[in-house]
Structure 1
């Protein structure tokens, strides 16, 4: 555990950092100002438990013996908290005496086929168009209708004479008038229904009914009242002081600072003695037990540090903190110097813009 830095330790560390070892007391007389900056890093993981009941069902005769049982109200049933509050888990229970297997209400495990409406067959789409006549003139006599075309005269015409290469039409029976590929149909024979216009339903295979899903075709359903106990981690953190000191200082202190740390595992654990009194109220508020909390892990780290300003060096603030091998110092530009540099940069940018505008 690191010892708290005294004012003498702090000023002497700044003196060594500025090339004046042994002159810490001189800095005090010169009006050096010390502002204590105790750092706090608190991280808490709470395991929060939720409970719920619901009706549950499974098809057929279902074995629930592997699930633990509870009696009465689920909220009163004891469940051990997790050993590791960062791990989620869910425990499923069954209300004792609630398990029963009942008839499903279907027709012995079957239900009417919804695809064919219990007919066992479906109307078939027309087969592919004939590649030879493309369905335009499958028969020069009936055009695939089975009856003589209305624009034909009884006496006939050269167009109505049988054409070479034609065959007998299967619809109107006229010889040598039909396309040899489709024989007057205008389409190839349908491979699905063999031109009957109907095909077997692919869902029920013509049986007109299918297996009832809710009971898996058993005709039975197992019902019970289920209870779920879920345990899930919720994370929170607290970093002090606020507003936070410069990022460079926080990063350096996090890497090389001699932090004091402790881990608490329950809401009743006492807070460590080394915490700064200014932080106690915020820490106690952050550690208030929340609703449903059954386990926790709290990691607390704290580091005593200070910010020092020296009258003869107004451009820097010296941040001092205990390191692993003694006090460490990090010099960071003061607000005064940062504003001055920002003003210079803004002036240069403005000058460049004016030059560009004139050119």
Structure 2
């Protein structure tokens, strides 16, 4: 891989780092250090994938001016559209097939309106001139004396009739039919009914649907009486993302991402090739991503690589040294070996168990 430091440069950098930690490693001496390489990868590709089709359109009104600015086509499958400069953007094209634009009259209305179905084209409807009183409901309580008839019809003894107490009488008014005071419903005054609030006692009310015009707008054609028809072609260019990442140990990712001298290769067409110095295993991994997909019209692929050296030293068996190129040289960092991590994990778990056991014993002794 171009730009990868030599093994000697890596071992010298590791030896210097170990020396600063107080370890006389002699890393560059033959047979002392064990070195292996791993290439960190971050591969991302976004393709613009195009789909096409056409559909019959029928919309109310005259829309010729609205459609005048749309591009036209003869065959949607062969119509040429410029590939997007940025494959990550979504692009939508709406077109009109040549000679397909026209108008047709609406067959379900008369110039955009129809007779009102609510009133049958009469503009209104008959209405009762009077309605039952909402207070006494048009019953015998309309008047305690005449029950709304104008003549006293109560056959109950006077002391059993309603309204015999002053409080009952105070809530009533003089009856307009029998002229008895403090006996009638205060709402209808003994008449049982009130003038209809809808028609004002006229017996006729205007239709609330057509507002008396006898006709209503035809909703399907939006009152225009016609439809615009055409064949619409559509072309969608949508981004499709894929990626392959091999970024190494989690505890090293931020260090390598910020300080590492990553090599970057950009591929913009299906004929662009992967770098010649790419490891064969990595080439086998990434090659399938470069195959052209159905409907692909543009792509943008980015391959970022960073060589990472893995070094172990007999003089420091509990640590692993990682080295990688930076813009200023070679950076070396250390991490405990897996065995060391597991060792301290066991110690920590044992310590927790001991603390828990002591706490339980202390609780039992205090009871």
Q: TM-score, normalised on structure 2?
A: 0.82
Q: Give the alignment of 1:130-279 within 5 angstroms.
A: 130=135, 137-141=141-145, 143=147, 152-153=154-155, 157=158, 159=161, 166-169=173-176, 173-176=177-180, 177-184=183-190, 191-194=197-200, 199-240=205-246, 245-279=248-282
Residue 333 of structure 1 corresponds to: 336
Query: In structure 2, what is the Cα distance between the partners aligned to 1:102 and 1:4?
Result: 72
Cα deviation 1:134-179 (Å, max 9, x = unaligned) = 98833325656x6989x733x985748997863444xxx4434533
Query: In structure 2, what is the Cα distance between the partners aligned to 1:210 and 1:230?
Result: 40
Query: In structure 2, what is the Cα distance between the partners aligned to 1:271 and 1:127?
Result: 91
Structure 2 residue runs of 5 or longer lacking an equivalent are none
Residue 4 of structure 1 corresponds to: 4
Query: Is residue 2:354 matched to residue 1:345?
Result: no
Query: Is residue 2:10 matched to residue 1:15?
Result: no
Q: Closer, same or farther in 2 for the Cα pair 1:194/1:77, shift >3 Å?
A: same
CA contact (8 A) 2:114 2:216 kept: yes
Indicate the SS of the match to 2:287: helix
Deviation at 1:2, TM superposition (A): 6.9
CA contact (8 A) 2:312 2:319 kept: yes
Q: Closer, same or farther in 2 for the Cα pair 1:127/1:139, shift >3 Å?
A: closer
Residue 34 of structure 1 corresponds to: 35
CA contact (8 A) 1:314 1:336 kept: no
Q: Closer, same or farther in 2 for the Cα pair 1:251/1:140, shift >3 Å?
A: same
Indicate the SS of the match to 2:142: coil
Cα deviation 1:8-41 (Å, max 9, x = unaligned) = 1111111111116994323x432x2112111111
Structure 1 residue runs of 5 or longer lacking an equivalent are none
Q: Closer, same or farther in 2 for the Cα pair 1:161/1:280, shift >3 Å?
A: closer
Q: Closer, same or farther in 2 for the Cα pair 1:184/1:298, shift >3 Å?
A: farther
Deviation at 1:354, TM superposition (A): 1.5
Residue 46 of structure 1 corresponds to: 47
Cα deviation 1:216-255 (Å, max 9, x = unaligned) = 2121111111111011112111113xxx521121221110
Q: Closer, same or farther in 2 for the Cα pair 1:24/1:309, shift >3 Å?
A: closer
Q: Closer, same or farther in 2 for the Cα pair 1:17/1:104, shift >3 Å?
A: same
Q: Closer, same or farther in 2 for the Cα pair 1:183/1:14, shift >3 Å?
A: same
Query: In structure 2, what is the Cα distance between the partners aligned to 1:42 and 1:357?
Result: 54
Indicate the SS of the match to 1:303: strand
Q: Closer, same or farther in 2 for the Cα pair 1:2/1:279, shift >3 Å?
A: closer
Q: Which moved more, 1:173-182 or 1:96-105?
A: 173-182
Indicate the SS of the match to 1:37: strand
Deviation at 1:267, TM superposition (A): 1.1
Query: Is residue 2:292 matched to residue 1:285?
Result: no
Q: Give the alignment of 1:72-83 within 5 angstroms.
A: 72=75, 74-83=76-85
Query: In structure 2, what is the Cα distance between the partners aligned to 1:180 and 1:275?
Result: 100
CA contact (8 A) 1:182 1:189 kept: no
Query: In structure 2, what is the Cα distance between the partners aligned to 1:215 and 1:256?
Result: 66
Cα deviation 1:192-233 (Å, max 9, x = unaligned) = 443668753433213343211222212111111111101111
